[in-house]
Amino acid sequence: MPILNFPASPNNGDTFTQNNIQWQYNSVYGVWNVISAGPTGFTGSVGFTGSVGFTGSKGDAGFTGSKGDSGFIGSGATGFTGSVGFTGSVGFTGSVGFTGSVGFTGSVGFTGSVGFTGSKGDTGFTGSVGSTGARTYTVTNSVSSAYLIDGSSNPTLNLLRGFTYAFNVNASGHPFWIQTVSGAYSSGNIYNSGVTNNGVQVGTLTFAIPYDAPSTLYYVCQNHSLMQGVINISDVGPQGPQGAAAVVGGSNTHIQFNDSASSNGSAGFTFNKTSNNVTIANNISATTGTFAGAVSGITTLAAGNTTITGFANVSTTLQVGTNTATFGTAVYIIANGNFGIANSTPGQKLTVSGIIESTTGGIKFPDGTTQTSAGINIGKSIAMAMIFGG
């Protein structure tokens, strides 16, 4: 196995490449980790199987013992039967033949060389630019007396420079033109800058209004002078109507809520237009706890952007949530500065009842390191570093 020559003093995140294998240094654990490897070489061929050893010869069979003599037959009475001859001894069992020797194991085939890396493919063509969004108008006709645009008869249109508008025309026999003069159709005053399909009867006219377009143009039917209208063009939308004036209370009061049904009750919630201060007095009830000269208890704020400063009472707990009856939706800040998410009694600077998600950046530890992924197998990384790093 080749010895890898790692750099002597690497920094966290440094990379090193040798033998088509890329390594990256992790200063937290002091190891080099493999982040990419070269392609796998070809598998060598299988070695030959050794031949089977010879079977030993079979031992010789033992000799059969000799047969005993027959008894004599008497001349008179029947003679005595001769005794049975002795049984011959069993022949010797031949010795077992030698076991043939085991064949030699074939040598391991050579590892194939690493194949060449294929060339990089050509970059794909850039897709065409998508169509620009447009405000779409529907244009039809009321016989030959008027164009109906989105249902209105010859309406005045208010358009903006730099924007694109589409007119879907379905008015056969009534060519829809944009021109620079009022009155009947005038072929010498047609406006074509940014206009596609001017004079369409059935189809779409697109008007990408240039920044130098005139402030007033006109749409008109080529065949009927009653079918016409005005197009106002501006850089911004038309000014809306002015809002109603605010109701003013006392000499320095912009908004005031009294603490009783009587119109002359003492002020409970006051916004002073001179000092730009909000005053809360007379123990106006909150969802939980009370407002007073020094805010106390738990103050609940509804959804929205709210800033509270100058709490006089250090025992104050601030609760922010969209559903004050369900504490699980709230954020809590208690007097010692601890911050709780879905937890009304945080015991640390940040206490969360739920899952914490980091989408970017990771988590930074007291030693200054930042963890951006799950933990690694420390033992495996150290072992690999010892093997490949010498």
CA 170 – CA 275 distance, rounded (Å): 61
pLDDT of residue 4: 81
CB proximity list for 230: less than 8 A, separation 6 or greater: 156, 157, 182, 216, 217, 218
Judged against a pLDDT cut of 70, whether residue 265 lies above it is answered with no
pLDDT given for residue 328 in this prediction: 44
Q: How many CB atoms lie within 10 A of CB 98?
A: 11
Quote the pLDDT of residue 279.
Answer: 60
Statement: residue 142 has pLDDT above 90? yes
Side by side, the strands of the sheet bearing 21-26 are 15-18, 21-26, 31-36
The Cα 229–Cα 362 span in angstroms is: 60
What percentage of the chain exceeds 70 in pLDDT? 60
Residue 253 predicted with pLDDT over 60: no
From the list 3, 42, 40, 34, the residue with the least C-alpha distance to 17 is: 34
Residue 15 scores a pLDDT above 50: yes
Length of the chain: 390
Q: What is the pLDDT of residue 341?
A: 86
Identify whether the C-beta of residue 233 lies closer than 8 Å to the C-beta of residue 193.
Answer: no
* Cβ contact 367:27 at 8 Å: no
Q: Are 293 and 305 in contact (CB under 8 A)?
A: no
Both tokens assigned to 153: 């008869």
Q: Answer yes or no: is pLDDT of 213 > 90.
A: yes
Q: Are 259 and 186 in contact (CB under 8 A)?
A: no
In which region does residue 347 sit, left (phi positive, over 0), alpha (psi from -120 to 50) or beta (all else)?
alpha
Average pLDDT over residues 287-308: 39
Higher pLDDT: 143 or 326? It is: 143
User: 129 falls in which pLDDT band (50, 70, 90)?
Assistant: low
Q: In the numeric block, which tokens belong to residue 15?
A: 């990379």
- Is the confidence at residue 297, as pLDDT, over 60? no
Residue 177 and residue 190 in contact, taking contact as beta carbons nearer than 8 Å: yes
Residue owning tokens 């949530």: 321
Report yes or no on whether pTM surpasses 0.85: no
DSSP readout, 280-335? E-S--B-SSSB--SS-BSEEEE-SS---------TT-EEEEES-TT-GGGEEEE-T
pLDDT number for residue 296: 36
Rounded CA separation 262/239 (Å)? 40
- Is 70 exceeded by the pLDDT of residue 230? yes
More confident residue, 113 or 180: 180
Query: Both ends of the chain: CA-CA distance in Å?
Result: 11
Give the pLDDT of residue 259: 45
Rounded Cα distance between 255 and 259, Å, is 13
CA 231/CA 28 separation, integer angstroms: 68
Over residues 125-154, the mean pLDDT reads: 86
Confidence of residue 339 (pLDDT cuts 50, 70, 90): confident
For tokens 């033998």, the residue is 19
pLDDT > 80? residue 133: no
Look over the chain and give the mean of its residue pLDDT values, rounded to a whole number: 74
In the DSSP assignment, the letter for residue 357 is -
d(CA 94, CA 90) in angstroms, rounded, equals 12
